[in-house]
Homo-oligomer: A and B are copies of this chain.
Amino acid sequence: MNYFSSNFKLGILGGGQLGKMMLYDTRKFDIYTCVLDPSPEAPSKLACNEFTVGDLLDYDTVVNFGKQVDVLTFEIENVNVDALETLEKEGVQVYPSSKTLRHIQNKGTQKLFYRDHDIPTAEFSRFAYTSEIDEAVDNGGLSYPFVWKSSRFGYDGTGVQVVRSERDLVKLPNVECIAEKLIPFKNELAVIVARNEKGDMSTYPVVEMEFHPEANQVEYVICPARIPDDIAKKAEQVALKTAKAFNHVGLLAVEMFQTREDEILVNEVAPRPHNSGHYSIEGSYTSQFEQHIRCIFGLPLGNTESKVAGVMVNLVGAENHTGKVVYKNIENILALDGVTPHIYGKKETRPFRKMGHVTIVNKDITVARKIAEKVKQTIEVISE
């Protein structure tokens, strides 16, 4: 297939920030793109060739959209997977495949997949309803504290709760879920694996999520992770094994824990470009978005090494601010060395809404990390 011809069409399900950043690279390669998103003001609207407003979870909408394209991908997991399967049968190249997505979409199935494929992960139990957990605790099959995760439609931390007592438990929605052993970890790490249909694979360097000491929120994504080489190698091996087990085509972001005993456990995966890879736009020889396109088109994979070290800071809406967004002091962070803000183009801010991110690159990771702290202290995402 000639991807670089005007007869070719790439479809992207979802037009959020990930889709928007993928369009940087489709524009660079002049690839014809069609985007489907429920919001008429989606960040991807501008730079695609055709934009369709529609429900990503509606079977007919996705099938009708997908029928017009040659290759179909997604920037979000919450899409109608039956529609993807239908499209595959009709000859549309869907990458990642409906089969992979089906395993990943449901966190219970995802965990079972790890168990079946001997991929290290925290112990867990599955429940059809949250209300069934109580009984398991009474029976001694489960004990506090544990991590509760909604099996479906969790995204960016929603649908995940640490449960320390029955009091926490009763507040949770009564849905299909898993209860996972709470893992005391040294580090939260991530590796992005790129894999094409031929089975060519490569990994981006291990990145580290540095948490705020009090707020327990990821503050910085740091590439490369400040961990010993043998731990990095172990994390890469686990990530590669995971992508291979899924027979994955596209990017697979593998989030992992480095336990206190230096075990590597897979926490969860995302079959798409990922927040932990945003630094790659400025830091890597090949940005994760270009790499995703290379994967799904069966093109040779790009170099995943870093030109320079990178730190990424998410720009989230400040507390107590809702409404038309203002990026206060953005001019000031532009005066700092190696700083690139990415503004996603969402019109309205809300507390903790992801509005953009800032990448800080430098030859020296320690310098980048210090500048990142300054960025975080300077810029504010507020309302008018």
A38 interfacial by beta-carbon distance below 8 Å: no
| Measured CA separation A6–B337 after assembly (Å) | 27
| Measured CA separation A284–B299 after assembly (Å) | 26
Contacts A2-B326, A23-B47, A46-B48 supplied; 17 other A-B pairs, CB < 8 Å: A4-B327, A4-B343, A5-B326, A20-B27, A28-B341, A29-B343, A30-B345, A46-B47, A46-B49, A285-B337, A285-B338, A290-B340, A294-B334, A299-B334, A300-B331, A300-B334, A307-B307
- Hey, which chain B residues are within 8 Å of A341, CB to CB? 28-29
**Cβ contact within 8 Å between A300 and B6:** no
Shortest Cβ distance from A341 into chain B, in angstroms?
Answer: 7
- Hey, which chain B residues are within 8 Å of A29, CB to CB? 341, 343
Shortest Cβ distance from A242 into chain B, in angstroms?
Answer: 26
A344 interfacial by beta-carbon distance below 8 Å: yes
- Hey, which chain B residues are within 8 Å of A340, CB to CB? 28, 290
A-B complex: 3 closest residue pairs judged by Cβ atoms: A300-B335, A30-B343, A47-B47
Smallest CB-CB separation from A47: which chain B residue? Answer: B47
| Measured CA separation A340–B25 after assembly (Å) | 10
Q: Mark A290-317, 1 if CB is under 8 A from B, else 0.
A: 1000100001101100011000000000
- A interface, CB within 8 angstroms of B: 2, 4-6, 20, 23-24, 27-30, 46-49, 285, 290, 294, 299-300, 302-303, 307-308, 324, 326-327, 330-331, 334-335, 337-338, 340-345, 347, 356, 361
| Measured CA separation A198–B179 after assembly (Å) | 59
- Hey, which chain B residues are within 8 Å of A30, CB to CB? 343-345, 356
**Cβ contact within 8 Å between B28 and A47:** no
Shortest Cβ distance from A302 into chain B, in angstroms?
Answer: 7
Q: A300-B331, A300-B334 in contact; A307/B46 too (CB < 8 A)?
A: no
Shortest Cβ distance from A83 into chain B, in angstroms?
Answer: 27
Most chain B beta-carbon contacts within 10 A, residue among A2, A46, A338, A361: A46
**Cβ contact within 8 Å between B337 and A303:** yes
| Measured CA separation A331–B324 after assembly (Å) | 44
- Hey, which chain B residues are within 8 Å of A24, CB to CB? 24, 27-28
Most chain B beta-carbon contacts within 10 A, residue among A30, A290, A340: A30
Shortest Cβ distance from A37 into chain B, in angstroms?
Answer: 16
| Measured CA separation A30–B46 after assembly (Å) | 10
Query: Can you pick out 27 interface pairs between chain A and chain B where the beta carbons lie within 8 Å of each other?
Result: A2-B326, A4-B326, A4-B330, A6-B324, A20-B27, A23-B47, A24-B24, A24-B27, A24-B28, A27-B46, A27-B47, A28-B342, A29-B341, A29-B343, A30-B343, A30-B344, A30-B345, A30-B356, A46-B47, A46-B48, A46-B49, A47-B47, A285-B361, A300-B331, A300-B335, A303-B338, A307-B361
- Hey, which chain B residues are within 8 Å of A28, CB to CB? 24, 340-343
Smallest CB-CB separation from A308: which chain B residue? Answer: B307
Shortest Cβ distance from A33 into chain B, in angstroms?
Answer: 9
- Hey, which chain B residues are within 8 Å of A342, CB to CB? 28
| Measured CA separation A299–B345 after assembly (Å) | 20
**Cβ contact within 8 Å between B302 and A334:** yes
| Measured CA separation A144–B294 after assembly (Å) | 54
- Hey, which chain B residues are within 8 Å of A326, CB to CB? 2, 4-5
- Hey, which chain B residues are within 8 Å of A5, CB to CB? 326
| Measured CA separation A285–B339 after assembly (Å) | 9
| Measured CA separation A30–B344 after assembly (Å) | 7
| Measured CA separation A307–B368 after assembly (Å) | 14
Smallest CB-CB separation from A46: which chain B residue? Answer: B47
Shortest Cβ distance from A340 into chain B, in angstroms?
Answer: 7
- Hey, which chain B residues are within 8 Å of A327, CB to CB? 4
